[in-house]
A and B are shown apart, each in its own frame.
Chain A
Amino acid sequence: MTELLQTPLHALHLRLGARMVPFAGYSMPVQYRAGVIAEHRHCRDAAALFDVSHMGQLRLVGTDAASALETLVPVDVVDLGVGRQRYAFFTNASGGLLDDLMITRPQPGSAFGDLFVVVNAACKDADLRHLVTHIGHRCGVVPMPERALLALQGPQAAVALARLNAAVTQLVFMSGAEFDLAGTPCFVTRSGYTGEDGFEISVAAADAAALAEALLAQPEVEPAGLGARDTLRLEAGLCLYGHDIDERTSPIEAGLTWAIQKVRRPGGARAGGYPGAAAIEGHLAGGAPCKRVGLVGLERVPVREGTAILDAQGRKLGSVTSGTLAPTVDCAVAMAYLPIDHAQTQHEVYAEVRGKRLPMRVTTLPFNPHRYFRG
Chain B
Amino acid sequence: MTTKFTPDHEWINIEDHEAAVVGITLHAQDALGDVVFVELPEVGRTFKKGEVAGVVESVKAAADLYMPVTGEIVEINEALKADPALANTDPMGNGWFFKVRVADMGEFDQLMDPPAYDALLKTL
Please list the residues of chain A having a beta carbon within 8 angstroms of any beta carbon in chain B: 30-31, 35-38, 40, 227, 231, 300-302, 304, 324-325, 327, 354
* Residue in B33, B39, B58, B59 whose Cβ sees the most chain A Cβ within 10 Å: B59
The verdict on A35 contacting B33 (CB below 8 Å), with A30-B60, A325-B59, A327-B59 known, is yes
Give CA–CA (A35, B39) in the complex, Å.
Answer: 22
By a CB distance below 8 angstroms, the chain B residues around A30 are 60
By a CB distance below 8 angstroms, the chain B residues around A231 are 59
CB distance from A299 to the nearest CB of B (A): 10
CB distance from B93 to the nearest CB of A (A): 19
Residue of A nearest to B31 (CB): A19
Residue of A nearest to B55 (CB): A354
The verdict on A36 contacting B62 (CB below 8 Å), with A354-B39, A354-B55 known, is no
By a CB distance below 8 angstroms, the chain A residues around B34 are 35-38
Give CA–CA (A354, B63) in the complex, Å.
Answer: 12
Give CA–CA (A266, B65) in the complex, Å.
Answer: 55
Question: Does chain A have a CB within 8 A of B57?
Answer: yes
Give CA–CA (A36, B90) in the complex, Å.
Answer: 18
Residue of A nearest to B64 (CB): A354
Give CA–CA (A328, B93) in the complex, Å.
Answer: 28
| In-complex Cβ contact of B62 among A37, A40, A304, A327 (8 A) | A304
Give CA–CA (A300, B39) in the complex, Å.
Answer: 11
**Interface contacts beyond A31-B33, A36-B60, A37-B59: sample of 4 additional A-B pairs, CB < 8 Å, sorted by A:** A301-B39, A302-B37, A302-B57, A325-B37
Residue of B nearest to A30 (CB): B60
By a CB distance below 8 angstroms, the chain B residues around A40 are 59
Please list the residues of chain B having a beta carbon within 8 angstroms of any beta carbon in chain A: 33-34, 36-37, 39, 55, 57-60, 62, 88
Give CA–CA (A43, B55) in the complex, Å.
Answer: 29
Contact B33 A302 (CB under 8 A): no
Contact A302 B39 (CB under 8 A): no
Contact A301 B37 (CB under 8 A): yes
CB distance from A254 to the nearest CB of B (A): 24
5 pairs of A and B residues whose beta carbons are closest in the complex: A325-B36, A37-B34, A36-B59, A35-B34, A302-B57
| In-complex Cβ contact of B59 among A227, A300, A301, A354 (8 A) | A227
Give CA–CA (A227, B55) in the complex, Å.
Answer: 20
By a CB distance below 8 angstroms, the chain A residues around B33 are 31, 35-36, 227
Contact A227 B60 (CB under 8 A): yes
CB pairs A–B below 8 angstroms (22 shown): A31-B33, A35-B88, A36-B33, A36-B34, A36-B58, A36-B59, A36-B60, A37-B34, A37-B36, A37-B59, A38-B34, A227-B33, A227-B60, A231-B59, A300-B37, A301-B39, A302-B37, A302-B57, A304-B62, A325-B37, A325-B57, A325-B59
Give CA–CA (A227, B59) in the complex, Å.
Answer: 8
Residue of B nearest to A299 (CB): B37
Give CA–CA (A346, B39) in the complex, Å.
Answer: 27
CB distance from B16 to the nearest CB of A (A): 32
* Residue in A37, A231, A301, A327 whose Cβ sees the most chain B Cβ within 10 Å: A37
By a CB distance below 8 angstroms, the chain B residues around A324 are 59
Give CA–CA (A324, B62) in the complex, Å.
Answer: 10
Give CA–CA (A365, B53) in the complex, Å.
Answer: 36
CB distance from A110 to the nearest CB of B (A): 39
CB distance from B37 to the nearest CB of A (A): 6
Give CA–CA (A31, B58) in the complex, Å.
Answer: 13
CB distance from A35 to the nearest CB of B (A): 5
By a CB distance below 8 angstroms, the chain A residues around B60 are 30, 36, 227
By a CB distance below 8 angstroms, the chain A residues around B58 are 36
CB distance from B80 to the nearest CB of A (A): 13
